[in-house]
Amino acid sequence: MKVPTLSDVARHAGVSYATADRVVNARGRVAEKSASRVRAAIDELGYVRNVDAANLAQRRFYRFAIVLPVGSNAFFTRMRNLFLAAMEQLQAERVALEVIEVKAFHPSSLRAALDRLANDKVDGVALVGSEDATVVEAIEKLRKAKIPVMTLVSDVPGADRNAYVGIDNKVAGRTAGRLIALAHSSSRGRVVPIVGALSARDHADRISGMSEVLESQHDIAPVIEGYDQHDLVEARVAQVLEDDRDVTAIYSAGAGNAGLIRVLERLPECRRRPVAILHELAPHSRRALENGLIDIVIDQRPEDEMMRVVEGLRRLADRRALPVTDPIVPAIFVRENLPPLPLARTEREREDT
State phi, psi for 275 to the nearest 5 degrees. -60, 135
Q: What is the pLDDT of residue 332?
A: 97
Tell me, yes or no, whether 241 and 317 share the same domain.
no
- Does 22 share its domain with 123? no
Q: What per-residue confidence (pLDDT) applies to 51?
A: 53
Of residues 344, 336, 310, the one with CA closest to residue 66: 310
| Cα atoms in the Cβ-side hemisphere of radius 13 Å centred on 122 | 26
Q: Are residues 175 and 105 in the same domain?
A: no
Query: Which value, to the nearest 10 degrees, does the dihedral of the CA atoms of residues 144, 162, 107, 153 take?
Result: -170
Residue 158 lies in a domain: yes
In terms of domains, do 240 and 260 share one? yes
Dist CA 66 CA 315 (whole Å): 16
Q: What is the rounded CA–CA span in Å between residue 80 and residue 75?
A: 9
Do 77 and 199 share a domain, yes or no?
no
| HSE toward the beta carbon, residue 329, CA cutoff 13 A | 3
Largest CA distance in the chain: 87
Give the range of the structural domain holding residue 245, as residue numbers without chain letter. 169-299
Same domain, residue pair 174 and 84: no
Instruction: Tell me the pLDDT tens digit for each residue of 21-64.
Output: 888 777 677 888 888 998 898 888 888 766 555 554 455 689 99
Residue 65 confidence (pLDDT) above 80: yes
SS3 218: coil
Tell me, yes or no, whether 328 lies in a domain: no
Do 16 and 99 reside in the same domain of the chain?
no
Q: Which residue has the higher pLDDT, 179 or 21?
A: 179
Q: What's the number of domains the chain is made of?
A: 3
Cα 238 from Cα 312, distance rounded (Å): 43
Does residue 176 share a domain with residue 214? yes
Within this chain, do residues 175 and 294 fall inside the same structural domain, yes or no?
A: yes
Does residue 330 fall inside a structural domain? no
In a domain, 334, yes or no: no
Structural domain includes residue 90: yes
Question: What local confidence, expressed as pLDDT, does residue 106 receive?
Answer: 93
What proportion of the chain, given as a percentage, has pLDDT over 70?
92
Confidence at residue 4, expressed as pLDDT on a 0 to 100 scale:
84
Q: Which residues have a Cβ under 8 Å from the Cβ of 125 and sit 6 or more positions away?
A: 64, 65, 66, 67, 114, 117, 142, 147, 148, 149, 150, 313
Q: Assess whether 199 and 125 both reside in one domain.
A: no
Q: What CATH number should be reported for the domain holding residue 148?
A: 3.40.50.2300
pTM of the predicted protein model = 0.81
Digit-coded pLDDT (tens) for 311-332: 999 999 988 889 888 889 999 9
- For 137-175, what is each residue's pLDDT tens digit? 999 999 999 999 999 999 998 899 999 999 999 999 999
Does residue 229 sit within a domain? Answer: yes
What b/e string do you get for 79-105 counting C-beta neighbours within 10 Å, with b at 16 or more? bbbbbeebeeebeeeebebebbbbebb
Q: Under 8 Å CB-to-CB from 215, ≥6 apart: which residues? A: none
CB 267 within 8 A of CB 273: yes
Domain identity same for 179 and 79? no
pLDDT at 52: 52
CATH label of the domain that carries residue 24: 1.10.260.40
In terms of phi and psi (left: phi > 0; alpha: psi -120 to 50; beta: otherwise), the region of 7 is alpha
Quick one: how many helices (H) and strands (E) in the chain?
14, 12
Which residue intervals of the chain are DSSP H helices? 6-13, 17-24, 32-45, 51-58, 74-92, 107-120, 133-144, 169-184, 201-214, 230-243, 257-265, 283-290, 302-317, 347-352
3-state helix, strand, coil in the chain (%, to 5): 50, 15, 35
Nearest to 153 by CA among 304, 346, 314, 333: 304
Is the pLDDT reported for residue 350 higher than 80?
no
Phi-psi region of 22 (alpha: psi -120 to 50; beta: other; left: phi over 0): alpha
What SS3 state is found at 54?
helix
pLDDT at 93: 84
Rg of the chain on CA atoms, in Å: 25
Average pLDDT, the chain: 90
Tell whether the model's pLDDT for residue 352 goes beyond 80.
no
pLDDT greater than 50 at residue 351: no
**84-136 pLDDT per residue, tens:** 999 988 988 889 999 999 999 999 999 999 999 999 989 999 999 998 999 99
Does residue 353 fall inside a structural domain? no
Same structural domain for residues 182 and 268?
yes
Rounded mean pLDDT of 251-275?
A: 96
